[in-house]
Amino acid sequence: MPEKENTWAIVTYKIPIPFEIGRARLAASFTVFLASENGEKFDDGAITILEVSGDGEEWHQIGRDDKDSPHHSWISKDISNHVAGCQHVFVRSRLLCSKSWPGVGPIFAQFLRTGTQSPSPALVLKVDQCGE
């Protein structure tokens, strides 16, 4: 959860793979919840960015959601060119909030949550071994 408004909060998952990655596909649920969708509870100024990495150092943006972009309730991307040859997949979401709520603070519940309209899991990673 962000400690204050206008500061990036980051959630990172490190997924070890027991072999060298050949191909990989990531599907994830991520979105920002706008006030116009939920009364005044959420944040029209929020931005969330979904990124992947093979080493945890060089990050590649695969999705973004804010009030000006189409909302991503479910994104599915081939991430092979970012993780091929590695033995880890790092998945990271960054969230920037522009307001907070009394007693709660900025809410960072938007990342990798299963949507109410989707029975799909919040994160799916499919990895094929190099050479197979």
pLDDT, tens only, 53-98: 999 999 999 988 887 776 656 788 999 999 999 999 999 888 888 8
pLDDT for the residue 65? 81
Look up the pTM and report it: 0.79
pLDDT band at 40 (very low <50, low <70, confident <90, very high): low
The pair of structure tokens assigned to 23 is 């191909």
Beta-bridged to residue 9, according to DSSP, are: 95
Q: What CA–CA distance (Å, rounded) separates 8 from 32?
A: 14
Buried b (16+ CB within 10 A) or exposed e, 2-40: beeeeeebeeeeeeebeeebebbebebbbbbbbeeeeee
Q: Are 100 and 5 spatial neighbours (Cβ–Cβ below 8 Å)?
A: yes
